[in-house]
Amino acid sequence: MLKELLYKVNIQSISGDTEIEIKNLQTDSRKVTSGSCFIALTGTQVNGNAFISDAIKRGAVAIVTESMPDILEAGITYISVQNAATAAGIICNNFFGAPDAKMKIVGVTGTNGKTTIATLLWKLFSSLGYRCGLVSTIHNRIADQIIESTHTTPDVVSLYELLHDMMQKGCTHVFMECSSHAIHQKRIAGLNFAAAIFSNITHDHLDYHKTFDEYISVKKSWFDQLSSDCIAISNADDKRGAVMLQNTAAKRKYYSLKTIAEIKGKILDNSLEGLHMNINDIDVHFKLIGEFNAYNLLAVFATAVFLGEDKRMVLEALSSLAGAEGRFDYLISDKDHIVGIVDYAHTPDALLNVLATIKKLRQGNQKIISVVGCGGNRDATKRPLMAEVACLHSDKVVFTSDNPRFEDPSAIINQMESGVNVVARKKYLSIPDRREAIKAAVNLCDKKDILLLAGKGHEKYQEIKGIKYEFDDKKVLSETFDLLER
């Protein structure tokens, strides 16, 4: 009944009968069928009220909106709410049987590390014998079933449908990335989290949030809304780690490599063979590489321990796990032993972290050659910064396309080049065709050099003028290695 779905919703007014059956929920009028409740969301571009008539024609029997239409149709129930996006989350939670009450849901937010942390948590808890769900950039999972994902965090109805499916299939834990877009658009509204993790925050998504302060504020707003039953876990070494938790009602916990925290780690050795660390006085070796992964591992360990798992069992399981696809994913050519690294790094800070790690790992006269691009129709202010970081920390750089979308790849590269100083201009080449750029970069390598392909990571496509063409950095690199060594 509609009346039951409205439990805990901040209602302004009601017109019509709430004792009616609702067969499904929709925020997209095109998906409305007979018996739907249509929730008219107020978006950044379009007001959902413009689609109320279309939803009714398609069979909607109830409308949830922030402002009542001028004309109310007979036989339709209208509910005016304070915030439609927030109401959507609460209504979905009620409709789909409160999955957050039956599963422990753990959210991860931050500029970098979300995918690796969520994926490692899924792998860890699965290895500990739990049936787990995963909501991530790469894909969604219900135990061993893989469901392709189109957004870091799905729209609110799709998310709750997915959580309901996970609940029905016996999942006890769900690990999900919570992007700033999802938080701002309240796609995770209504969910009670068992734990919430903050990894770090750096320059990103300013095409959407406009200012860095707004970006920070959106991330923080999620922690501000957590319940006292939740555990909020933050990176104490990030200068905004404490700020994120300063107003939360959740239990506050911290992890760190450099400062005092409940979970304290120390890197003993960092090489291409992995990380040797001491965590809370226990020595352990991990397959993952780099300081940024040391932070990811601490976040995962902290979450597991604070959710009640045995710390030694957790570390033993973590020591055998590989990271997420396209995150410091590497292969070595057979003949010349060139080390090729594929990484999703698409922000200046992420690129800096990867290159800093590579510099620590290289030996002798190994050169670092980087292939770097920037996405089209996204935050343009980071383009010169990406180029500057690449040239500063690489011996040679090839600027190329990422996902140019509807922009001219050469124009994007020109904006990148503006960040390169006169001294560094001899370091780089510009080749818009990404496949040709990778070939050129491989040809720049001598034996045992290190080649970084940054920006696309796990993505298996390149988006050009609205069309997604098949393109896999790791596959192209492998093929180029094979051609080189014939």
Task: Walk me through the domains of the chain, giving residue ranges and CATH numbers.
Answer: 2-95 (3.40.1390.10), 99-318 (3.40.1190.10), 329-484 (3.90.190.20)
304-334 pLDDT, tens digit each: 999 999 999 999 999 999 888 888 998 999 9
pLDDT at 157 over 60: yes
Residue 81 has pLDDT above 90, yes or no: yes
pLDDT at 207 over 50: no
Does residue 202 have a pLDDT over 90? no
Q: What is the pLDDT of residue 149?
A: 72
pLDDT given for residue 182 in this prediction: 86
Q: What angle do CA 323, 416, 375 make, to 5 degrees?
A: 50
183, pLDDT greater than 60: yes
Residue 346: closest CA among 158, 154, 184, 152: 152
332-356 per-position pLDDT tens digit: 999 999 999 999 999 898 899 899 9
Q: How many CB atoms lie within 10 A of CB 439?
A: 19
Q: Please report the pLDDT score of residue 215 as a whole number.
A: 79
Structure tokens at 381: 């202010």
**β-pair partners for 63:** 38, 78
Signed CA dihedral, 102, 233, 276, 201: sign only: positive
State residue 151's pLDDT score.
59
Higher pLDDT, 6 or 379: 6
Express each pLDDT in 210-229 by its tens digit: 577 787 888 899 999 999 99
pLDDT at res. 27: 95
What residue type is 285 in one-letter code?
A: H
What is the distance between the alpha carbons of residues 317 and 320, in angstroms, rounded to a whole number? 6
Return the pLDDT at 486.
Answer: 63
pLDDT score, position 138? 85
Instruction: Give the pLDDT mean for 373-387.
Output: 95
Residue 236 pLDDT > 90, yes or no? yes
Instruction: Copy the structure tokens of residue 45.
Output: 């571009």
Q: Which token pair is 164?
A: 């309901």
Contacts with 234 (C-beta within 8 Å, 6 or more apart), sequence order: 197, 198, 241, 242, 244, 245, 252, 253, 254, 255
Mean pLDDT (the chain, rounded):
93
Between 479 and 486, residue with greater pLDDT:
479
pLDDT tens digits for 46-78?
A: 789 999 999 999 999 999 999 999 999 999 999
C-alpha distances in angstroms, 283 versus 264, 318, 329, 360?
12, 12, 25, 21
Q: Residue 259: how many CB atoms within 10 A of its CB?
A: 13
Mind listing the pLDDT tens digit for each residue in 92-125?
999 999 999 999 999 999 988 999 999 999 999 9
CA gyration radius for the chain?
24
Predicted pLDDT of residue 271: 87
pLDDT score at 204: 47
Query: Sheet containing 77-81: which strands, arranged edge to edge?
Result: 11-15, 77-81, 62-65, 36-39, 24-26
